[in-house]
Structure 1
Amino acid sequence: MSEEFVSRSLEELRFWSRIMKEHSLFLKLGFRCEDKQLISEADHFYALFESIENRANAFTIGTDPNVIRKFNEEVYQAVSFIWAFKRKVLGLIVTCQLPGANNFPLLVDHVSREANYFRNRLSELNLGRLEPLPDAIIDENVFFLRIMADHAKFISHLLDPSERKLVEQANHFSQEFDQLLFQARDLESMRPQSQTVPLLDQFLDQNRVSVKSLRDFKKTARDLIEACRIKSIIHPLLADHVFREAEHFLFIIDMFENSLTGKPVQMDVH
């Protein structure tokens, strides 16, 4: 169990510390020139999570679990601070105190939800209180389906309006994932009766198909942005960031499928 604790902790730490680092950059890019204090705070969090990411990458599966437990506690505090920063920024935006800035309120709420998710995961790992599989399948999908729906909306709004076909595709994904999220919430409200293996297996299969399609769309958009072949205000790192989150969701779906049915995990290589 101690090796599994270290493995799962490092997996979460390495993935999410990079995500938190990049959130800091994206928020900074959306501030106005005069928002010097907010820019300074974003720079602080970028450096903090870059340090956490580097330290997490230096640990191995053989690291003492007590060392990892202490590190999880330290990172929990750091994530709590960046969560509070994100909520402060959201408050400033929705009360019209940052007119002309370029961070969407939904984007700031989105990145704060991811911080809260990371914080909760660290706490669950340290307490040894991970959810039972049927609950985890529903709750993780509710969380990530909303994340994917948000991504589609951000892509639609950050593409140049003249990129009509890509905007149309992004809007289609937004609607598709809104519907999947509603279905997931229906399954959530029907539990525990809804938590049968056939229903959960179908739930995972359906979501996997849609997430793969969105992942491939994100990969195409990322490649086009990096090659300067489409018009947008999407930072190339943001395009890669949302692609990696879709890959992460697919990995989680496959892990659930394997635990639920014993089917071997099929890893896509992209």
Structure 2
Amino acid sequence: MNGNEHLHADTGATSEMFVERSLNEIRFWSRIMKEHSLFLRLGFRAEDTQLIQEANQFYRIFERIEQTAHSLSNQTDPEQIKKFNSEVKQSATGIFVFKRKVLGLILSCQLPGANNFPLLVDHISREANYFRKRLIELNEGKLKPLPEAIIKENVFFLRIMADHAKFIGHLLDPSERKLIDIAQNFSNDFDQLMYQAIDIESMKPQSQTVPLLDQFLDQNRVSVASLRDFKKTARDLIEQCKIKSIIHPLLADHVFREADRFLEIIDMFDAHLTSSNNQSS
């Protein structure tokens, strides 16, 4: 069962499910936050010693969180997990604040020559905010009704995928014309899908019908699977030193894992949509 699973609000969540979902979220996102710390540090200038120090500190914090999450199991006491979620939420809030501070410095031209795109810093801060909100939801036992969750999660992740395509296009060497072209096409595709999702979101609750949501998920799945495969190819080529870019091999793997997670979420939503539709018919 995937940690992002949303159930109907009226079914309630068992303690075991709460533990499983919490650990799934923390294991995935703590690694992502740890890697964000590394990417930020690599983009700072040599003289940005304070920022480098802060980034290293967050790297160590999330490395410890990741290790702790892997040392716990689905049989861990739910109260212990609830406390752990609260502690991790504090760290996620901390790195969110740090990322927004860095964004402010970049946009006010106080880090000339640094290599972190403003959109990338905004992107990773949105992910930190998503993570902290997931932990709050889990601890409060709040589960959004399935149709609303489907739309909200897709709006969030489609924008993340659109951003990834843009970053890949801008971090490839300008001479990699064909790959840049492919990345640009993915960027356009996901921009369109994101705006479609926003349109469906603004039509709520009337748009929350099973046929519409089913088509919505199917359409998104095709594009996400295609982007995931492109990212996997790019990652392998970067690791084999076959293409020219300034993309860190870990960043290539990082964006691949996020696309893979989005696919898992789509499949999980689709399965629930199908089962709930069968139950109601």
Per the normalisation by structure 1, the TM-score is 0.97
Q: Provide the C-alpha distance between the structure 2 equivalents of 1:186 and 1:87, rounded to a whole number of angstroms.
A: 28
Counterpart for residue 267 of structure 1:
none
Aligned to 1:59: 72
Q: Write the distance in 1 (CA, Å) between the matches of 2:275 and 2:235.
A: 34
Aligned equivalents of 1:11 and 1:129: distance in 2? 17
Query: Residues of 1 paired with 2:48 and 2:143: CA distance?
Result: 40
Structure 1's consecutive aligned runs of 4 or more residues displaced over 6 angstroms after TM superposition are: none
Q: Which residue of 1 aligns with 2:5?
A: none
Aligned to 2:225: 212
Give the aligned residue type for 1:53: E
Write out aligned runs for 1:174-185 (5 A). 174-185=187-198
Classify the secondary structure of the residue corresponding to 2:112: coil
User: What is the CA–CA distance in structure 2 between the aligned matches of 1:205 and 1:6, rounded to whole Å?
Assistant: 30
Matched AA of 2:200: L
The match for 2:87 is 74
Q: How far off its partner does 1:41 sit?
A: 0.2
How many residues of Structure 1 are paired with residues of Structure 2 in the alignment? 263
1:249 to 262, 265, 269: 262
Rounded to whole Å, the distance in 2 between the matches of 1:235 and 1:215 is 17
TM-score (norm 2): 0.93
| Structure 2 residue identity aligned to 1:120 | K
Residue equivalent to 1:86: 99
Deviations 1:161-188 (A, max 9, x none): 0000000000000000000000000000
The alpha carbon displacement at 1:112 in A equals: 0.2
Separation in structure 1 between the aligned mates of residue 260 and residue 23 of structure 2, nearest angstrom:
17
Structure 2 Cα separation of the partners of residues 11 and 135 of structure 1: 21
Deviation at 1:83, TM superposition (A): 0.3
The one-character-per-residue Cα deviations of 1:83-122 (angstroms, maximum 9, x if unpaired) are: 0000000000000000000000000000000000000000
Identity of aligned residues (%): 75
Work out the CA distance in 2 between the residues paired with 1:256 and 1:217. 24
State the Cα deviation string for residues 54-89 of structure 1 (Å, max 9, x = none).
Answer: 000011010000000000000000010000000000
- What is aligned with 1:131? 144
Cross-structure match for 1:262: 275
SS of structure 2 residue aligned to 1:262? helix
Determine helix, strand or coil for the equivalent of 1:109. Answer: helix
Corresponding position: 1:222 with 2:235: yes
Structure 2 counterpart SS, 1:131: coil
Shift of residue 130, structure 1, vs aligned partner: 1.8
Residue from 198, 213, 221 that aligns with 1:200: 213
Match of 1:99 in 2: 112
Measured in 2, the distance between the counterparts of 1:75 and 1:62 equals: 19
The code of the aligned residue for 2:226 comes to S
Hey, what's the Cα distance between the residues in 2 that align with 1:130 and 1:100? 44
The structure 1 residue matched to 2:61, chosen from 38, 48, 55, is: 48
Residue 262 of structure 1 deviates from its aligned partner by: 2.6
Q: Aligned letter for 1:190?
A: M
* Corresponding residue for residue 191 of structure 1: 204
User: In the alignment, what sits opposite 2:6?
Assistant: none
2:65 partner letter: I
Following the alignment from structure 2 to structure 1, what is the Cα–Cα distance between the partners of residues 94 and 143? 23
Pick from 235, 254, 264 the counterpart of residue 248 of structure 2. 235
User: How far apart are the structure 2 equivalents of 1:68 and 1:258?
Assistant: 27
For 2:100 and 2:149, the matched residues in 1 are separated by 26
Structure 2 residue runs without a partner (length 5+): 1-13, 277-281
